[in-house]
Amino acid sequence: MDATQIRQAYLDFFVGRDHAHIARANLVPREDPTTLFTGSGMQPLIPYLLGATHPTGDRLVDSQVCFRAEDIDEVGDARHTTLFEMLGNWSLGSYFKESQLPWLFEFLTGVVGLDPSRLYASIFAGSPRWDVPRDDESEQRWKELFFGVGVDPVVTELGSAERASATGIGDARIVAYDESQCWWSRSGPPAAMPAGEPGGPDSEVFYLFPEVPHDTRFGAHCHPHCDCGRFVEIGNSVFMQYRRTASGFELLPQRNVDFGGGLERIAMAAAGTPDVFQIDLLAPLMSAIESMRPTAGVRTSAGAGTTDPESDRRARRIIADHTRAVVFLAFDGVEPSNNTQGYVMRRFARRAIRQGLHIGIDADLLPTLSDAVVAIYKDAYPELGARAHDIRGVLEREETLFRKTLARGVRELPRIAGNLLDGEAVFKLFDTYGFPPELSVEEARAGGIPVDPGWSAQFDLLMTEQRERSRTAAAGMFKGGLADQSEATTRLHTATHLLYKALRLVLGDHVVQRGSNITAERLRFDFSHPQKMTAEETAKVEAIVNEAIRRDWPMQVSEMAPEQAFSEGALGAFGDRYGPTVTVYTAGDPHGEWYSKEICGGPHVSHTGELGHFRIVKEESSAAGVRRIRAVVE
């Protein structure tokens, strides 16, 4: 089976077991200020894992497109991608280990057809420190499943990954790791979890590629969590039954199952290849990139081809991954900019273009490959095909802009380098103009400028310092978050509904929500509008919102089909996708006309009068054609 077939088979498998197929969430979390992107399948479902009732029921299944920008430096090997699909099924208090593990094993071996002798399972070894017991039930389930297909279910206690690297696993099939490996929460192991965060022990499934030799750089012995590529994790069942408290853990109101299985990695196992770029979702991109390049080793007007096979392969993998990522980001409403999600998108787009220069491609990289991405995914995501022209235009404009920037870099190189091109000059050209380091060195030599032999070490040091600054800034970008459902955050969340309607009343119906970010201190609301708001428009919006607050309207909640919601005038955020049932919040006179009607799943106050006085602090540009309002309630 290829990835496209596996995706559909997975959805069908769990729908056949009474799961509701829910639509994927937008890559930009609508109201979760703790993160820039949707990086896991469970992220949009946090309220329901904490006990809220999901409108479609207590058994859910989906395929969620995820993006993890922090993995950017890992891309280029055979396994890592920044954009991936996570197959997910959830039990919100319905079933637990007794059904999850047998169903997963049946799907992998009976439907996908994986060889069970290549599968390995992990279990939680327990944590005396946190008073969480060993997962004996999962061990017993796995023993029965492996024994049933003639595989000897030997169990070994590994503890930490470090100990596993030192000892190996012998002939074990089931391995017990501590909380450093077999515990899952958004924040990591128990010690890193903030109060209120849900989590629990997990049980992973790994696929063995015996043809991949163990690399001792990762330890003396291989084990399932080794990073050498011999074992690849293809699925993880998280038994989410705990919530972190100030002193330890308490049980959630219900025992949940949160399963995530990487579609691309399951497809690797099904195809018998340890190289993710050979599966059907990425191989066509690799071929398209190869067809665009000139003869290897021939210098072009913008860069140079490479004759190093490994460097060449790494460049093509980065291009394929990053192009796929920026296509889906554009699909979900992100445009390249110098702020937040737009900045990340710009970084990925320009890194792909720079890698294209590395292998001799100096024109039309992103628009050409965006067509290839759409061709791969349009059957699974028909809306992608419908918006192909718009997506191509976004990427074409960014590439044109960046190539002009590169041209300026060529002109500025002699001035910046002076009499010697050192690491600081290379870094400045890279940071300011996006100039690839190797291209700076080549252009300097071609122009007769000496190159400092130590330029690379100095450049690497400056890059490391920049990454650390970026990580620090990202970690401190947002304070608090809607996930805490505090009273202050809930008030501001409700205020966005009133603001959205007021903007449409003042500016026009072209206003569409393009994102929001809410903390306990303020709200941030992005919306489509081509120009800066006037002071009169801003004042009018404020007045309308405060009038809605003064009227103390009830916030009425109802559930309905999305088609009915839209027919009744309900609004949603740009790029949101919906399942068969949605939750709609309405503010207005319960005996007369409504003021605001919006599809939303977050917490709200019961009456608008609870909000306080609404004040717009700032109105500014967020991206091309997108404005941003920052506001508070006092």
Whether residue 466 has pLDDT greater than 70: yes
Q: What pLDDT shows up at residue 31?
A: 58
Q: What pLDDT shows up at residue 473?
A: 43
Element (H, E) at 104: helix 97-105
The pLDDT-based confidence of 440 (bands split at 50, 70, 90) is confident
Q: What pLDDT shows up at residue 295?
A: 64
Whether residue 476 has pLDDT greater than 90: no
Determine the Cα–Cα distance for residues 272 and 558; give it in Å rounded to an integer.
48
Determine the Cα–Cα distance for residues 312 and 385; give it in Å rounded to an integer.
30
Whether residue 219 has pLDDT greater than 90: yes
Q: What pLDDT shows up at residue 328?
A: 96
Mean per-residue pLDDT for 562-572? Answer: 81
Q: What pLDDT shows up at residue 562?
A: 78
Token output for 218:
């990762």
Give percent above pLDDT 90 in the chain: 60
Q: What pLDDT shows up at residue 114?
A: 98
Mean per-residue pLDDT for 397-419? Answer: 89
**Diameter of the chain measured on Cα atoms:** 81
pLDDT tens-place string over residues 536-547: 999 999 999 999
Mean per-residue pLDDT for 336-362? Answer: 86
Q: Which residues pair with 571 in a beta bridge?
A: 598
Q: Which residues pair with 623 in a beta bridge?
A: 626
Query: Which phi and psi (to 5°) does residue 315 adopt?
Result: -60, -45
pLDDT tens-place string over residues 135-166: 999 999 999 999 999 999 999 999 999 999 99
Query: Which phi and psi (to 5°) does residue 248 adopt?
Result: 165, -120
Q: What pLDDT shows up at residue 33?
A: 59
Residue pair 552/608 in contact by the 8 Å Cβ criterion:
yes
Whether residue 495 has pLDDT greater than 80: yes
3-class DSSP assignment, residue 616: strand
Whether residue 485 has pLDDT greater than 90: no
Task: Give residues with Cβ within 8 angstroms of 461, minimum separation 6.
Answer: 423
Residue pair 160/124 in contact by the 8 Å Cβ criterion:
no
Worst-scoring range by mean pLDDT, 202-211, 478-487, 601-610?
A: 478-487
Q: Can you spell out the DSSP letters for 236-259?
A: EEEEEEEEE-SSSEEEEEEEEEEE
pLDDT tens-place string over residues 576-590: 566 677 888 999 987
Q: What pLDDT shows up at residue 202?
A: 97
Token output for 571:
């609004």
pLDDT tens-place string over residues 378-387: 999 998 998 9
For the purposes of burial, counting CB atoms within 10 Å of the CB of 540, is it exposed (0-12), middle (13-18) or buried (19 or more)? middle
Whether residue 196 has pLDDT greater than 60: yes
pLDDT tens-place string over residues 304-336: 455 578 889 999 999 999 999 999 999 998 888
Distances (CA, A) of 49 to 133, 237, 469, 602: 21, 14, 34, 13
The pLDDT-based confidence of 478 (bands split at 50, 70, 90) is very low
Determine the Cα–Cα distance for residues 560 and 541; give it in Å rounded to an integer.
30
For the chain, the 3-state helix, strand and coil shares in percent, each to the nearest 5, are: 45, 20, 35
pLDDT tens-place string over residues 81-91: 999 999 999 99
Residue pair 518/524 in contact by the 8 Å Cβ criterion:
yes
Closest residue by Cα to residue 244 from 187, 312, 175, 204:
187
User: Alpha helix (H) ranges present in 418-507?
Assistant: 423-433, 437-446, 455-475, 487-507
Token output for 518:
């809410």
Determine the Cα–Cα distance for residues 555 and 611; give it in Å rounded to an integer.
12
Determine the Cα–Cα distance for residues 166 and 399; give it in Å rounded to an integer.
48
Q: Can you spell out the DSSP letters for 262-280?
A: EHHHHHHHHHT-S-GGGST
CB atoms within 10 A of CB 498: 24
Q: What pLDDT shows up at residue 515?
A: 79
Q: What pLDDT shows up at residue 402?
A: 87
585-594 long-range contacts, Cβ below 8 Å, gap at least 24? 585/497, 585/555, 585/556, 585/557, 586/555, 586/556, 586/557, 586/558, 587/497, 587/498, 587/548, 587/553, 587/554, 587/555, 587/556, 588/553, 589/551, 589/553, 590/553, 590/554, 590/556
Query: Which phi and psi (to 5°) does residue 377 adopt?
Result: -105, -5
Determine the Cα–Cα distance for residues 85 and 235; give it in Å rounded to an integer.
12
Average pLDDT, the chain: 88
Q: Which residues pair with 632 in a beta bridge?
A: 615
Task: Give just the sign of the alpha carbon dihedral 333, 335, 338, 344.
Answer: positive
pLDDT tens-place string over residues 57-85: 999 999 999 999 888 888 999 999 999 99
Q: What pLDDT shows up at residue 168?
A: 94
Task: Give just the sign of the alpha carbon dihedral 376, 380, 385, 388.
Answer: negative
Determine the Cα–Cα distance for residues 482 and 496; give it in Å rounded to an integer.
13
Q: Can you spell out the DSSP letters for 121-140?
A: EEEE--BTTTTB---HHHHH
Q: What pLDDT shows up at residue 481?
A: 35
Total residues found in the chain within this entry: 634
The pLDDT-based confidence of 447 (bands split at 50, 70, 90) is confident
Give percent above pLDDT 70 in the chain: 93
The pLDDT-based confidence of 301 (bands split at 50, 70, 90) is very low
The pLDDT-based confidence of 443 (bands split at 50, 70, 90) is confident
According to DSSP, residue 451 is labeled: B
Mean per-residue pLDDT for 447-462? Answer: 93
Q: What pLDDT shows up at residue 475?
A: 44
Query: Which phi and psi (to 5°) does residue 40 adopt?
Result: -155, 160
The pLDDT-based confidence of 480 (bands split at 50, 70, 90) is very low
User: How many angstroms from the chain centroid is the CA of residue 420?
Assistant: 42
